[in-house]
Structure 1
Amino acid sequence: MPALKNRSARRRDNSRHDGSAGEKTSYATEAGYELTKPQQLFPHRTSGTIDAILSWIYYLGFLALLATFAFKFHYALPKPVVEGRNPTTGELQFSEANVRLITGHLSENIGLRLIGTESVDETEQYLIREIKELKEQAKIEKATGQKNLPNFDMWIQVNDGSHRFDFMSKGKSELSTLVRCATSMYTNMTNIIVRLSCGPECDKNAILLNAHYDTTLGSPGAADDALGVGVQMELIRILSQQPALKKNSVIFLFNGGEESLQDASHSFITQHELKDTVRAVINLEGCGTSGPEILFQANSRPMIDAYKKVPYPHGSVVANDLFSTGMILSDTDFRQFVDHGNLTGLDMAVYMNSYLYHTHLDLNEHMELGLPQHMGENTLALVRHIGNEVELTTNGGKMFEKTSQVVFFDVMGFFFLAYPFDTAIRIHLLIGSLALYTLSSGASRPSQRSVISILLSFVTALMTPNLVAFILVTIGKPMQWFTHEWLPIAIFSPISAAAMLTVQYFFYDKRLSAPTNELATLSGIQFFFGVVMGSATYAQLASSYITAVYSLPYTLGLIFNQNRIYLLRRLRKTELSATVDFSTYLVSSLVPTAYFFYAAISLFDFLVPLTGRTGVDTPADYIAATLSGLYVFCACPPILAFAHRFGLPTLKRIISLLLILQVMALFVSTMYLEPFDKMHPKRIFAQHLRNLTSGETLVYVAHADAGPIYDNYVRDLETLFDTKARFKSGLENPGDWNAIYPFSQFLDSYILDTTPFIRSETLNDTIATSTAPLTDLIHDAPKLIAEGVSYDPTTGLRRLTVLCTHPEYILTVISFDAQLTSWSLSSDVPSKETFHYVIRNAGGYRTDGWRLDLEYKAKGPEDRLRIEITSMETESFDWRVEKERELAGSGDIGVMRKLVRATPDFIALTYFSTVASLFEL
Structure 2
Amino acid sequence: MATLKKRHANAMDSKADPATTNNKHILDDDRRTAARPGTAGVIAERILSPKTALFSWTVFIGFIAFFIFVAYGGHYTLPTPVMEEHHPVTGKPQISEAYMRRITGHLSETIGLRVSGTAQDAETERFLINEIAVIEEKARIARARGATDLPKIDTWVQVDDGSHQFDFMHEVVMKMYSNLTNIVVRLSCGPECDENALLLNAHYDTTLGSPGAVDDGVGVAVMMDVLRVMSLSPSPKKNSVIFLFNGAEESFQDASHSFIVNHELKGSVRAVVNVEGTGTHGPEILFQANARVMIDAYSKAPYPHGTVLANDLFETGIILGDSDFRIFRDHGNITGIDMAIYKNSYLYHTQLDINENMQVGVPQHTGENVFAIVNYVADEVDLRQIPEMTNDVVYFDVAGLFFVTYSAATAIKMHIVFGIAALAAFLVGASRPSIKSFLSIPVSLFAAVVGPFVLATLFVSLGKPMQWFSHEWYPFFIFGPTAIAGMLAVQYAVHDPKASTGANELSVFSGVQVFFTALLGLATNAGLGGSYILAMFSISLTVALIFNRARVGTQKQISGQSEQMVVHAVGFSTYLIASAIPTTYFATVAYTLIDVLVPLTGRMGPSTPVDHLVAGLVGLVAFLVCPSFLAFAHRFGRPILLKAITILLLVQIPITLFSLVALTPYNHMHPKRMFIQHLRNTTSGETAVYLAHADQGAIYDSYIAPLEQLLGVKAVYKTSKEDKDDWNSVFPISEFIDSYVIDTTPFIRSQTTNKTIAESTAPLTDLIKNPPRLTAENISYDPTTGLRKVTLLCTFPDHIWTVITFDALLKGWSLSSKVPSPDQFHYVIRNAGGYGTDGWRLDLEYAVAGEMGANDKLRIEMISMETEGFDWRVEEERELEGTGEIGIMRKIINAQPDFMALTYMSTVATVFNL
Contact 1:20 1:47 in 2 (8 A): no
One-letter amino acid of the structure 2 residue matched with residue 810 of structure 1: I
One-letter amino acid of the structure 1 residue matched with residue 60 of structure 2: Y
Residues 21, 368 of structure 1: alpha-carbon distance in 2 compared, 3 angstrom cutoff = farther
Q: Secondary structure at the match of 2:878?
A: coil
Counterparts of residues 812-823 of structure 1 (less than 5 Å)? 812-823=802-813
**CA distance in structure 2 between the partners assigned to 1:5 and 1:591 by the alignment:** 37
Contact 1:519 1:580 in 2 (8 A): yes
Residues 242, 651 of structure 1: alpha-carbon distance in 2 compared, 3 angstrom cutoff = same
**CA distance in structure 2 between the partners assigned to 1:31 and 1:85 by the alignment:** 78
Contact 1:77 1:374 in 2 (8 A): yes
Contact 2:71 2:399 in 1 (8 A): yes
Match for 2:639 among 641, 649, 670? Answer: 649
Determine the structure 2 residue equivalent to 1:114.
115
Deviation at 1:881, TM superposition (A): 4.4
Residues 7, 373 of structure 1: alpha-carbon distance in 2 compared, 3 angstrom cutoff = closer
**CA distance in structure 2 between the partners assigned to 1:30 and 1:448 by the alignment:** 24
Determine the structure 2 residue equivalent to 1:16.
none
One-letter amino acid of the structure 2 residue matched with residue 324 of structure 1: E
Structure 1 stretches lacking a partner, 5+ long: 10-18, 40-44, 171-179
**CA distance in structure 1 between the partners assigned to 2:453 and 2:703 by the alignment:** 28
One-letter amino acid of the structure 2 residue matched with residue 368 of structure 1: Q
One-letter amino acid of the structure 1 residue matched with residue 99 of structure 2: N
Determine the structure 2 residue equivalent to 1:879.
872
Residues 659, 3 of structure 1: alpha-carbon distance in 2 compared, 3 angstrom cutoff = closer
Match for 2:518 among 528, 531, 552? Answer: 531
Determine the structure 2 residue equivalent to 1:893.
886
Q: Secondary structure at the match of 1:891?
A: coil
Match for 1:628 among 604, 618, 627? Answer: 618
1:624-673 residue CA offsets vs partner (Å, 9 max, x unmatched): 00000001111111111111000011001000011012112211110100
Whether 1:867 aligns to 2:854 is: no
One-letter amino acid of the structure 1 residue matched with residue 417 of structure 2: L
**CA distance in structure 2 between the partners assigned to 1:658 and 1:7 by the alignment:** 35
Contact 1:876 1:882 in 2 (8 A): no
Residues 425, 160 of structure 1: alpha-carbon distance in 2 compared, 3 angstrom cutoff = same
1:143-171 residue CA offsets vs partner (Å, 9 max, x unmatched): 11112111100000000000000104x4x
Contact 2:35 2:42 in 1 (8 A): no
Determine the structure 2 residue equivalent to 1:442.
429
Counterparts of residues 359-374 of structure 1 (less than 5 Å)? 359-374=350-365
Deviation at 1:513, TM superposition (A): 1.1
**CA distance in structure 1 between the partners assigned to 2:665 and 2:186 by the alignment:** 48
**CA distance in structure 2 between the partners assigned to 1:607 and 1:21 by the alignment:** 52
Determine the structure 1 residue equivalent to 2:572.
582
Structural RMSD (CA): 1.9
Match for 2:605 among 587, 611, 615? Answer: 615
One-letter amino acid of the structure 1 residue matched with residue 109 of structure 2: E
Deviation at 1:210, TM superposition (A): 0.3
Deviation at 1:33, TM superposition (A): 5.2
Whether 1:908 aligns to 2:908 is: no
Deviation at 1:739, TM superposition (A): 0.9
**CA distance in structure 2 between the partners assigned to 1:241 and 1:836 by the alignment:** 53
One-letter amino acid of the structure 2 residue matched with residue 58 of structure 1: V
Residues 856, 6 of structure 1: alpha-carbon distance in 2 compared, 3 angstrom cutoff = closer
Counterparts of residues 793-832 of structure 1 (less than 5 Å)? 793-832=783-822
**CA distance in structure 2 between the partners assigned to 1:788 and 1:30 by the alignment:** 100
Determine the structure 2 residue equivalent to 1:477.
464
Determine the structure 1 residue equivalent to 2:542.
555
One-letter amino acid of the structure 2 residue matched with residue 369 of structure 1: V
Counterparts of residues 21-170 of structure 1 (less than 5 Å)? 24-26=32-34, 47-168=48-169, 170=170
Contact 2:308 2:395 in 1 (8 A): yes
Residues 648, 22 of structure 1: alpha-carbon distance in 2 compared, 3 angstrom cutoff = farther
Q: Secondary structure at the match of 1:426?
A: helix
Deviation at 1:66, TM superposition (A): 1.1
One-letter amino acid of the structure 2 residue matched with residue 289 of structure 1: T
Query: Number of paired residues?
Result: 890
Contact 1:4 1:33 in 2 (8 A): no
Contact 1:46 1:52 in 2 (8 A): no
Contact 2:683 2:910 in 1 (8 A): yes
Determine the structure 1 residue equivalent to 2:19.
none
One-letter amino acid of the structure 2 residue matched with residue 153 of structure 1: D
Residues 589, 160 of structure 1: alpha-carbon distance in 2 compared, 3 angstrom cutoff = same
Match for 1:298 among 289, 296, 303? Answer: 289
Question: Which stretch of the first structure deviates more once superposed, 905-914 or 571-580?
Answer: 571-580
**CA distance in structure 1 between the partners assigned to 2:6 and 2:178 by the alignment:** 93
Determine the structure 1 residue equivalent to 2:254.
263
Whether 1:185 aligns to 2:193 is: no
Deviation at 1:598, TM superposition (A): 1.2
Deviation at 1:547, TM superposition (A): 0.4
Contact 1:873 1:913 in 2 (8 A): yes
**CA distance in structure 2 between the partners assigned to 1:311 and 1:70 by the alignment:** 18
Contact 1:300 1:400 in 2 (8 A): yes
Counterparts of residues 627-706 of structure 1 (less than 5 Å)? 627-706=617-696
Residues 756, 5 of structure 1: alpha-carbon distance in 2 compared, 3 angstrom cutoff = closer
Structure 2 stretches lacking a partner, 5+ long: 10-26
Contact 2:350 2:902 in 1 (8 A): yes
**CA distance in structure 2 between the partners assigned to 1:348 and 1:737 by the alignment:** 31
One-letter amino acid of the structure 2 residue matched with residue 820 of structure 1: L
Determine the structure 1 residue equivalent to 2:482.
495
Contact 1:713 1:903 in 2 (8 A): yes
Deviation at 1:458, TM superposition (A): 1.0
**CA distance in structure 1 between the partners assigned to 2:236 and 2:5 by the alignment:** 78
1:666-719 residue CA offsets vs partner (Å, 9 max, x unmatched): 111101000111000000011000000000000000011111122221111111
**CA distance in structure 2 between the partners assigned to 1:812 and 1:8 by the alignment:** 85
Residues 491, 34 of structure 1: alpha-carbon distance in 2 compared, 3 angstrom cutoff = closer
1:320-353 residue CA offsets vs partner (Å, 9 max, x unmatched): 0110122211000000000000000000000000
Deviation at 1:22, TM superposition (A): 5.2
1:559-602 residue CA offsets vs partner (Å, 9 max, x unmatched): 11111122222234344142211211111111111111111001
Deviation at 1:4, TM superposition (A): 4.0
Determine the structure 2 residue equivalent to 1:175.
none
1:159-184 residue CA offsets vs partner (Å, 9 max, x unmatched): 0000000104x4xxxxxxxxx11011
Match for 2:366 among 362, 375, 390? Answer: 375
Match for 1:833 among 815, 823, 832? Answer: 823
**CA distance in structure 1 between the partners assigned to 2:205 and 2:857 by the alignment:** 38
Contact 2:605 2:693 in 1 (8 A): yes
Residues 237, 771 of structure 1: alpha-carbon distance in 2 compared, 3 angstrom cutoff = same
Determine the structure 2 residue equivalent to 1:847.
837
**CA distance in structure 2 between the partners assigned to 1:574 and 1:704 by the alignment:** 68
Contact 1:70 1:597 in 2 (8 A): yes
1:708-746 residue CA offsets vs partner (Å, 9 max, x unmatched): 122221111111111100011221242100111121111
Match for 1:327 among 318, 323, 327? Answer: 318
Determine the structure 2 residue equivalent to 1:716.
706
Q: Secondary structure at the match of 1:541?
A: coil
Whether 1:768 aligns to 2:758 is: yes
Contact 1:27 1:513 in 2 (8 A): no
With the length of structure 1 as denominator, give the TM-score of the two structures: 0.95
Contact 1:219 1:358 in 2 (8 A): yes
Determine the structure 1 residue equivalent to 2:21.
none
Residues 325, 5 of structure 1: alpha-carbon distance in 2 compared, 3 angstrom cutoff = closer
Question: Which stretch of the first structure deviates more once superposed, 300-309 or 283-292?
Answer: 300-309
Whether 1:196 aligns to 2:187 is: yes
One-letter amino acid of the structure 1 residue matched with residue 912 of structure 2: F
1:465-495 residue CA offsets vs partner (Å, 9 max, x unmatched): 1000000000000000001111111111111
Contact 2:301 2:369 in 1 (8 A): yes
Deviation at 1:27, TM superposition (A): 6.9
Contact 1:22 1:47 in 2 (8 A): no
Determine the structure 1 residue equivalent to 2:328.
337
Residues 53, 722 of structure 1: alpha-carbon distance in 2 compared, 3 angstrom cutoff = same
Q: Secondary structure at the match of 1:26?
A: coil
1:187-245 residue CA offsets vs partner (Å, 9 max, x unmatched): 00100000000000100000000000000001000000000000000011100011101
Deviation at 1:107, TM superposition (A): 0.2
Whether 1:393 aligns to 2:388 is: no
Residues 610, 22 of structure 1: alpha-carbon distance in 2 compared, 3 angstrom cutoff = farther
Residues 587, 29 of structure 1: alpha-carbon distance in 2 compared, 3 angstrom cutoff = farther
